[in-house]
Protein backbone atom coordinates (compact mmCIF):
# COMPACT_ATOMS: atom_id res chain seq x y z
CA UNK A 1 0.00 0.00 0.00
CA UNK A 2 1.54 3.33 -1.03
CA UNK A 3 2.38 5.83 1.67
CA UNK A 4 0.63 9.16 1.95
CA UNK A 5 2.74 12.13 0.80
CA UNK A 6 2.73 13.62 4.31
CA UNK A 7 4.17 10.36 5.69
CA UNK A 8 7.01 10.52 3.17
CA UNK A 9 7.73 14.14 4.11
CA UNK A 10 7.74 13.26 7.82
CA UNK A 11 10.05 10.32 7.22
CA UNK A 12 12.40 12.48 5.15
CA UNK A 13 12.45 15.19 7.85
CA UNK A 14 13.17 12.57 10.50
CA UNK A 15 15.97 11.15 8.32
CA UNK A 16 17.51 14.63 8.09
CA UNK A 17 17.19 14.99 11.86
CA UNK A 18 18.89 11.61 12.41
CA UNK A 19 21.76 12.57 10.09
CA UNK A 20 22.24 15.94 11.80
CA UNK A 21 22.04 14.24 15.21
CA UNK A 22 24.65 11.64 14.25
CA UNK A 23 27.01 14.33 12.94
CA UNK A 24 26.58 16.48 16.05
CA UNK A 25 27.11 13.51 18.36
CA UNK A 26 30.29 12.69 16.43
CA UNK A 27 31.56 16.27 16.78
CA UNK A 28 30.62 16.30 20.46
CA UNK A 29 32.36 13.01 21.22
CA UNK A 30 35.45 13.90 19.21
CA UNK A 31 35.87 17.36 20.71
CA UNK A 32 35.27 16.14 24.26
CA UNK A 33 37.72 13.29 23.74
CA UNK A 34 40.45 15.49 22.26
CA UNK A 35 40.05 18.19 24.92
CA UNK A 36 40.16 15.58 27.70
CA UNK A 37 43.21 13.91 26.16
CA UNK A 38 45.10 17.18 25.70
CA UNK A 39 44.37 18.39 29.21
CA UNK A 40 45.27 14.98 30.72
CA UNK A 41 48.56 14.78 28.82
CA UNK A 42 49.36 18.36 29.79
CA UNK A 43 48.73 17.69 33.48
CA UNK A 44 50.82 14.51 33.27
CA UNK A 45 53.70 16.36 31.62
CA UNK A 46 53.62 19.06 34.28
CA UNK A 47 53.93 16.52 37.08
CA UNK A 48 56.45 14.22 35.40
CA UNK A 49 58.64 16.55 33.36
CA UNK A 50 57.83 20.00 34.73
CA UNK A 51 56.86 21.18 31.25
CA UNK A 52 53.70 21.37 29.16
CA UNK A 53 52.51 21.29 25.58
CA UNK A 54 52.71 24.67 23.87
CA UNK A 55 49.30 24.25 22.26
CA UNK A 56 47.61 22.77 25.34
CA UNK A 57 45.59 25.89 26.02
CA UNK A 58 44.99 26.95 22.43
CA UNK A 59 43.51 23.77 20.98
CA UNK A 60 40.76 23.39 23.60
CA UNK A 61 39.84 27.04 22.99
CA UNK A 62 39.45 26.28 19.29
CA UNK A 63 37.43 23.11 19.90
CA UNK A 64 35.14 24.54 22.57
CA UNK A 65 32.79 26.43 20.19
CA UNK A 66 32.34 23.26 18.10
CA UNK A 67 31.49 21.28 21.20
CA UNK A 68 28.97 23.87 22.38
CA UNK A 69 27.23 24.27 19.01
CA UNK A 70 26.96 20.50 18.60
CA UNK A 71 25.30 20.36 22.02
CA UNK A 72 22.93 23.21 21.18
CA UNK A 73 21.84 21.54 17.94
CA UNK A 74 21.34 18.22 19.77
CA UNK A 75 19.23 20.03 22.37
CA UNK A 76 17.12 21.51 19.58
CA UNK A 77 16.68 18.06 18.05
CA UNK A 78 15.28 16.83 21.36
CA UNK A 79 13.02 19.86 21.77
CA UNK A 80 15.03 21.10 24.74
CA UNK A 81 16.67 24.20 23.28
CA UNK A 82 13.81 26.69 23.05
CA UNK A 83 10.54 25.27 24.27
CA UNK A 84 7.49 27.03 25.63
CA UNK A 85 5.09 24.13 25.84
CA UNK A 86 2.87 25.23 28.73
CA UNK A 87 1.20 27.85 26.53
CA UNK A 88 0.91 25.75 23.39
CA UNK A 89 -0.61 22.80 25.23
CA UNK A 90 -3.58 24.98 26.20
CA UNK A 91 -4.35 26.27 22.70
CA UNK A 92 -6.26 23.36 21.16
CA UNK A 93 -6.68 23.66 17.39
CA UNK A 94 -4.82 26.98 17.22
CA UNK A 95 -1.73 25.16 18.53
CA UNK A 96 -0.73 24.08 15.01
CA UNK A 97 -0.73 27.67 13.75
CA UNK A 98 1.12 29.04 16.77
CA UNK A 99 3.80 26.33 16.55
CA UNK A 100 4.16 26.88 12.81
CA UNK A 101 4.43 30.65 13.15
CA UNK A 102 6.90 30.40 16.00
CA UNK A 103 8.98 27.81 14.17
CA UNK A 104 9.10 29.89 11.00
CA UNK A 105 10.20 32.98 12.94
CA UNK A 106 12.91 31.00 14.73
CA UNK A 107 14.10 29.37 11.48
CA UNK A 108 14.28 32.72 9.69
CA UNK A 109 16.18 34.30 12.58
CA UNK A 110 18.72 31.47 12.67
CA UNK A 111 19.11 31.70 8.88
CA UNK A 112 19.62 35.46 9.21
CA UNK A 113 22.29 34.90 11.86
CA UNK A 114 24.02 32.50 9.49
CA UNK A 115 24.05 35.10 6.71
CA UNK A 116 25.05 37.99 8.97
CA UNK A 117 28.02 36.01 10.31
CA UNK A 118 29.58 35.70 6.84
CA UNK A 119 31.23 39.17 6.83
CA UNK A 120 32.49 38.47 10.34
CA UNK A 121 34.12 35.27 9.07
CA UNK A 122 35.92 37.24 6.36
CA UNK A 123 37.23 39.70 8.95
CA UNK A 124 38.20 36.96 11.41
CA UNK A 125 40.09 35.06 8.68
CA UNK A 126 42.92 37.58 8.96
CA UNK A 127 43.42 36.87 12.67
CA UNK A 128 45.43 33.76 13.52
CA UNK A 129 45.90 31.89 16.76
CA UNK A 130 49.38 32.53 18.21
CA UNK A 131 50.78 28.98 18.26
CA UNK A 132 48.80 26.84 15.80
CA UNK A 133 48.15 29.70 13.33
CA UNK A 134 44.49 28.67 12.87
CA UNK A 135 42.39 31.43 11.27
CA UNK A 136 39.75 33.05 13.48
CA UNK A 137 37.20 32.27 10.80
CA UNK A 138 37.19 28.62 11.97
CA UNK A 139 35.28 29.59 15.11
CA UNK A 140 32.94 31.86 13.17
CA UNK A 141 32.32 29.03 10.69
CA UNK A 142 31.29 26.89 13.64
CA UNK A 143 28.66 29.47 14.59
CA UNK A 144 27.46 29.78 11.01
CA UNK A 145 27.13 26.02 10.64
CA UNK A 146 25.38 25.73 14.00
CA UNK A 147 22.88 28.47 13.19
CA UNK A 148 22.20 26.91 9.79
CA UNK A 149 21.61 23.48 11.36
CA UNK A 150 19.32 25.02 13.98
CA UNK A 151 17.27 26.56 11.18
CA UNK A 152 17.03 23.20 9.37
CA UNK A 153 16.15 21.32 12.57
CA UNK A 154 13.41 23.83 13.34
CA UNK A 155 11.92 23.42 9.87
CA UNK A 156 12.10 19.61 10.14
CA UNK A 157 9.62 19.74 13.04
CA UNK A 158 6.90 21.36 10.91
CA UNK A 159 5.70 18.29 8.95
CA UNK A 160 4.87 16.50 12.21
CA UNK A 161 2.98 19.52 13.49
CA UNK A 162 0.91 19.72 10.30
CA UNK A 163 0.33 15.99 10.10
CA UNK A 164 -1.64 16.35 13.30
CA UNK A 165 0.90 14.78 15.62
CA UNK A 166 -0.37 15.52 19.10
CA UNK A 167 3.19 16.15 20.30
CA UNK A 168 5.90 16.70 17.66
CA UNK A 169 8.95 14.42 17.79
CA UNK A 170 11.36 15.88 20.32
CA UNK A 171 8.68 17.34 22.60
CA UNK A 172 7.47 14.10 24.16
CA UNK A 173 8.01 12.45 27.50
CA UNK A 174 11.47 10.87 28.05
CA UNK A 175 10.12 7.32 27.61
CA UNK A 176 8.65 8.15 24.20
CA UNK A 177 11.78 10.07 23.21
CA UNK A 178 13.83 6.94 23.97
CA UNK A 179 11.63 4.95 21.57
CA UNK A 180 12.19 7.54 18.80
CA UNK A 181 15.94 7.36 19.36
CA UNK A 182 15.95 3.57 19.13
CA UNK A 183 16.81 2.95 22.79
Domain ranges of the chain: 5-180
Q: pLDDT tens across 101-112, in order?
A: 888 998 999 999
Mean pLDDT of the 38-53 span: 86
The predicted structure's pLDDT at residue 101: 87
Check residues 102 and 175 and name the one with the higher pLDDT: 102
Check residues 13 and 3 and name the one with the higher pLDDT: 13
Distances (CA, A) of 83 to 86, 94, 116, 169: 9, 17, 25, 13
The predicted structure's pLDDT at residue 183: 47
Q: pLDDT tens across 120-152, in order?
A: 988 988 888 888 888 988 989 999 999 999 999
Check residues 55 and 16 and name the one with the higher pLDDT: 16
What band does 180 get if pLDDT is binned at 50, 70 and 90? Answer: low
The predicted structure's pLDDT at residue 88: 67
The predicted structure's pLDDT at residue 73: 94
Check residues 125 and 170 and name the one with the higher pLDDT: 125
Residue 163 has pLDDT above 80, yes or no: no
The predicted structure's pLDDT at residue 136: 86
Q: What percent of the chain has pLDDT over 70?
A: 82
Residue 176 has pLDDT above 60, yes or no: no
Residue 165 has pLDDT above 60, yes or no: no
Residues 123 and 87: their CA atoms lie apart, in Å, by 42
Query: How much is the pTM?
Result: 0.79
The predicted structure's pLDDT at residue 68: 94
The predicted structure's pLDDT at residue 161: 79
Residue 174 has pLDDT above 70, yes or no: no
Amino acid sequence: MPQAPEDIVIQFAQFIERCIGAACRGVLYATLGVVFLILSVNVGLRYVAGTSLASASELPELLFPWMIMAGVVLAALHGSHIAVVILTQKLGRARRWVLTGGSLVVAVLYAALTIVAWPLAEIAADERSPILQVPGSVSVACLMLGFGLLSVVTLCKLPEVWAGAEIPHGHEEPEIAAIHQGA
